[in-house]
Structure formats: C-alpha cells, structure tokens
C-alpha cells in the first residue's frame, strides 16, 4: 500500500532551511517495523507518525533513520504546525497536545501576520547529571576535532535532558564551532559511555543568543541541522548555571543553528524557574513550513 507524507522544515519560514522532518498524518495500523522502514526510506533526521487522535489530542511516535526515540523537538514543532496548516485543528483553537512516549506535550499555536504559523511547546521537564570529569571533557573536545584551549571557561559543560539526553561543550566563538570536524566513530563511543543521544557544541553570540552544532551519529544523524530538544536542554543548563539574564521568574535565549550546513534556523527557548530558583519548565518555539508532499510504499 501507499501512504501520503509531508516534508516539513521546522524553525524557519523558508522552505529549504531549518530542520526537515517527515510527517505522516495517518499512521494508524502501522507496525513498529513498518515505521522504522519508512523512516529509513525518507532519510530525514526524524520522521513523526501520527498514530491516533481525538479532538485536539494527538498520539505520536518518532523515528530516526536507525531507531525509535522518545522525543524529537523539531519533528514535534513540524507536526504541530502541519496540523494547523492541514485544517486538523478546529477554527479558533490555539492549543493542542502531543502524546509522546515520554510525556504529554502541550503546544500553543500562534498565527503570525506574515501568514506563517508558530508553535511553542513545553518540552519534557529538564533533568541534569553530575558534572563531567576534565578527562571526559578533553576526550569529547578532541573527538570534535578541537583543542581544549578553545573551551569557554565561563559557560557550563555537562549532560542535560529535555526530551533526549545531550552532552554540552562551550567554545569561545561561533567560528570555532563552524571549524569542528568530528570523528564520528569516536563520538559514538563516547556517547555510549555517557549514555547520551547527541553531542552539542555551542558558543555565545550575545547575552541571550548562542550558535550551535549538534552531532548524533549514534542515532544515524551525523549532524542534526536545527534541534529542539537539545537546545531546550541547553537553555536549562545555562539557566541552572545562572549565566542567562533572568526576568520575573524566566529567562529567554535564541539559538542559531544549521548555518554550517546551509540550512539556517532559529530556535526560541524560554526557561521558567521554580520558587527555589531551579529551572523547572522549558518552552521551545518556532515556525515551520511544508516543503514537499509525496507517497511512500509500505509493505
């Protein structure tokens, strides 16, 4: 049989930039093996399958080219915007919910004056692990093709979660991030040791702006162009370290990503603090645009 799919670019208003996700709006009845094969065939960094729905609640599953993952931020944004653009949300509704394997994700919809649609989701609650040893930091930096002298000593490194586990390494300047030439085999080894899904290198652009690249070879994604979950966790890590300006119980940053691959996008992140001062909620938002439609054969 053949089923329709859409290719949707997230964190951009321009087709051909941002991060592309494959979206199947009716995956009812598909087996896990069938979903895995579809994700391999479509070859985007993530494919999102809509497996059931009722009113404004949508059940979803996410697959990379090699396996299922619990959450994929850019694919969730792509799906939410697509549901609006395809008329799957009732007129006037501005909220929907994505039931994922890891959490029930609330999403707010904004229709912009430009005609674009922006989705802002509350990602899974941020979590953190122990501080990295200096030896592990050095090994990670070397695996990225850099030198420890380029590390930014005023920004945090560490392991954090906001849907997926990522390890974060701060560099002094965006140009150094662009110069990285990772050893993918070594990154796979170190990711397995740390039990993380992605390795995220970032550098400051301003007090509330950062430039990043994200590597996930263990997921079959050598470089993920513009990431939702990793940048959400990055914002939480920065907020926890107290290096992001804070206003009335929240802090906001934007992350520029995808430029090295020629598909630039911008991720907007807001972190809210508990009364204790700890970050407890991460909101990631951006627009998306449908770039292509087609049919995929499923055996």
Closest CA to 164 of 219, 109, 97: 219
Token readout for 128 is: 């953190």
Indicate which residues carry an active-site annotation. 46
Token readout for 201 is: 């290198």
Query: Do strands 158-161 and 127-128 pair parallel, antiparallel, or not at all (unpaired)?
Result: antiparallel
Q: How far is CA 26 from CA 5, 49, 209, in A?
A: 9, 7, 37
Query: Which class for 248: exposed (0-12), middle (13-18), buried (19 or more C-beta within 10 A)?
Result: exposed
Query: Do strands 2-10 and 158-161 pair parallel, antiparallel, or not at all (unpaired)?
Result: unpaired
Find out whether 121 and 110 touch, Cβ atoms under 8 Å: no
- Which residues in 147-186 belong to E strands, given as ranges? 158-161, 165-170
Closest CA to 227 of 45, 24, 52, 8: 45
Residue 1's CB: how many other CB atoms inside 10 A?
10
- Bridge partners of residue 108, in order along the sequence: 95, 120
The radius of gyration of the chain's CA atoms, rounded to the nearest angstrom, is 18
Phi and psi (nearest 5°) for 11?
65, 35
Cα of 149 vs its chain's centroid, Å: 28
What is the rounded CA–CA span in Å between residue 189 and residue 69?
19
Looking at residue 259, what DSSP letter applies?
G
């Amino acid at each position: 049989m053949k089923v329709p799919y859409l290719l949707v670019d997230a964190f951009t208003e321009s087709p051909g930039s941002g991060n592309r996700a494959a979206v199947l709006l009716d995956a009812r009845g598909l087996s896990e093996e069938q979903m895995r094969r579809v994700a391999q065939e479509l070859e985007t960094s993530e494919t999102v399958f809509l497996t059931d729905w009722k009113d404004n609640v949508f059940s979803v599953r996410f697959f990379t080219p090699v396996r299922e993952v619990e959450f994929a931020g850019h694919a969730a944004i792509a799906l939410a915007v697509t549901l609006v653009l395809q008329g799957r949300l009732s007129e006037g509704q501005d909220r929907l919910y994505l039931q994922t394997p890891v959490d029930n994700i609330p999403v707010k919809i904004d229709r912009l004056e430009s005609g674009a649609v922006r989705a802002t989701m509350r990602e899974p609650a941020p979590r953190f692990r122990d501080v990295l040893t200096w030896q592990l930091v050095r090994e990670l930096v070397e695996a990225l093709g850099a030198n420890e002298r380029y590390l930014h000593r005023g920004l945090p490194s560490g392991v954090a979660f906001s849907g997926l586990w990522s390890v974060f390494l701060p560099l002094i300047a965006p140009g150094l991030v662009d110069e990285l030439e990772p050893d993918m085999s070594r990154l796979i080894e170190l990711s397995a040791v740390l039990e993380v899904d992605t390795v995220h290198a970032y550098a400051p652009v301003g007090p509330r702006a950062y430039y990043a690249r994200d590597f996930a070879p263990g997921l079959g994604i050598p470089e993920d162009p513009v990431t939702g979950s990793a940048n959400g966790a990055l914002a939480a890590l920065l907020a926890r370290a107290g290096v992001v300006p804070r206003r009335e119980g929240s802090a906001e940053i934007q992350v520029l990503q995808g430029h090295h691959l020629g598909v630039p996008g911008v991720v907007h992140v807001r972190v809210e603090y508990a009364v204790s001062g700890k970050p407890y909620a991460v909101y990631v938002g951006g627009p998306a645009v449908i770039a292509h439609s087609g049919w995929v054969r499923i055996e």
